[in-house]
Amino acid sequence: MQLGILDLENTQSGTLEFIIEMIQNLYEREDQDESLPFLLGLIGKYLNACRVTLTFGGANDMQEYAWINTESNCSKSNEKFSFPLKKSGSDSKLSFYFTENQKNISTLLTLIATLIDTSLAYIRNIRLEHSQRQLAESINQISKILTSTLNREELLSLFLDQLETLVPYDSATVMLLEDGLLSMHASRGFEHFTGLMDSGHITFDPKATYLMDEVLNGTQPIILADAKNSPEWYWAPCGTHVRSWMGVPLKVKGNILGLFSIDKNTPNFFTEKHAQLASVLAKHTALALDNSLLFTQLQEAHEQLRGLSAKIITAQEKERQKIAMELHDHTGQALLALRAELRVLQHLFVNHPEKSAQQVEYLDQIALELSKDLTQLAYDLRPTTLSALGLVSSLDQYIKDFQRRMKIKTDFLVAGFEVNRLPDEIEIVCYRIIQEALTNLVKHSQADQVEIKLSLENKLLKLIVKDNGIGFSNISIRDKRGFGLLGIRERLSQINGSLRINSHPGQGTELNVSITLPEDE
């Protein structure tokens, strides 16, 4: 609601013709908020009234104007005439106050009220048409924005520019919800009040910041008429100029993305009309953000896939090289030695038969070592115990061997395995995940203790690997250990599984694997 008051004690009263002409031409004036109080003053002076008031607009954008006669004999008015202005709005009305009973003035007052009603209705229609045209132009511009870029920061900047055409503001920002905190991204207008600022490092806890949580959990904008009248308002260093504030949620498909924070240094500025226009833009902004996120995820997945493919090729070559070296250095040499010793045995059979038994024993040791090497090589490729005994027994044997070799305390806990076997593809994935996890632990974690839990309940298989190592930040997931984790995720994606990683520097690392088992056929 706006209130305009004008004291016309020193203004000469206009003629009736001039007043009527001014009413009829009111819509042509750009300064209507100033012209209406002036017009009421002219009418009041002409009628010798004590006060004239005009209420104009709808329930959400009501405006009130008044002229007050400051003469002493108007301290108390005895008679009031009120006229509803039905064309101008359901709650619009024009009221006249007089000190004495007025005779033969009702017709004149009705004429003035009718003229004002007609003129204000015309003004209202013009404003409505302008607003609709502005909204149509904005939607057209939004369509262009949606097809212009998928870069998130560019999108947010363009939407803030568009927001200003719909909702005039002094400053505004887009806050996105990230890890439970609202982070400022694109912003406008703050440089006029606090100078240039780096908004990229400004965050808010929505649960601890007045109205923020309410906006995020709601579906409609929230308007604060005057921040100075709200003791709970949080005065950020960059927002000391704020008087009126409006928060608009950014949601898509039921997901909370963030909000528009819109400021004005004038109290009682934002209206329900502003809220409606901001909501329209917010829906398009949220959709664009969602598309941008999907595009970014697709790009990252593509890059990860390229990296994984290269890593797989490298791993295959290393594995082939390892097998070749094992066969050459151990198996090949052992076979050459065996062949040479067989020739010796052949000679002993002819010339020294008494020494043949000793030579046969030596050849048996060579064959035994050769068998062990081949067995270990085959076990590294795929453990025979996994095929023969199943996942639990194979892991138990592998983990005990790991603890013996690496001197790292390892606890293996199993729950809910009444079934003897799981599908082959699930058993081998779980086995490889443990291998990869323990390999990463040795390489990176500096841990001296690890706990492995394997549980099965209601067709949900859970595998948890938790160590007491140095941990790492979320950002470093994409470092040199990232391809190992990516390989785990790739394996899990083939069997309806998922991986969640919890780690913080100095607090160890926990891998949580969940796999939904297929229904029995």
Structure tokens at 474: 């979320």
CA pair distance 133, 168, nearest whole angstrom: 16
Kindly state whether residues 184 and 73 are assigned to the same domain: no
> Quick one: what percent of the chain has pLDDT higher than 70?
74
Count the neighbouring beta carbons within 10 Å of the beta carbon of residue 206. Answer: 21
What integer best gives the mean pLDDT of the chain?
79
What letters, b where the CB count within 10 A reaches 16 and e where it falls short, cover 207-222?
Answer: eebebbeebbeeeebb
> Cβ-count burial of 325 within 10 angstroms (0-12 exposed, 13-18 middle, 19+ buried)?
exposed
Structure tokens at 422: 């799981």
Kindly state whether residues 153 and 289 are assigned to the same domain: yes
Q: What is the pLDDT of residues 76-105, one digit of tens each?
A: 657 888 999 888 777 889 999 888 777 778
Contacts of 332 (CB under 8 A, 6+ apart): none
Q: Stretch 7-14: mean pLDDT, rounded? A: 39
Please check whether residue 120 lies inside any domain of the structure: yes
Using alpha carbons, list the distances in angstroms from residue 146 to 138, 150, 152, 290, 294. Answer: 12, 8, 11, 11, 14
Structure tokens at 363: 């050849």
Q: Stretch 21-30: mean pLDDT, rounded? A: 66
Q: Which of 132, 167, 186 is the last residue of a domain?
A: 132
What is the model's pLDDT at position 10? 36
Closest to 165 in 3D by CA, of 130, 208, 199, 191: 130
Q: What is the tally of structural domains in the chain? A: 3
Lowest mean pLDDT among 4-13, 246-255, 336-345, 431-440: 4-13
Please check whether residue 488 lies inside any domain of the structure: yes
What letters, b where the CB count within 10 A reaches 16 and e where it falls short, cover 337-354?
Answer: eeeeeeeebeebeeeeee
The DSSP symbol for 329 reads I
Q: Which domain holds residue 48?
A: 3-132
The DSSP symbol for 171 reads E
| Cβ proximity of 412 and 395 under 8 Å | yes
Please check whether residue 110 lies inside any domain of the structure: yes
pTM over 0.85: no
Q: Stretch 380-405: mean pLDDT, rounded? A: 82
Please give the backbone phi and psi of residue 234, each rounded to the nearest 5 degrees, phi first.
-90, 120
Kindly state whether residues 219 and 270 are assigned to the same domain: yes
Please check whether residue 432 lies inside any domain of the structure: yes
Kindly state whether residues 158 and 106 are assigned to the same domain: no
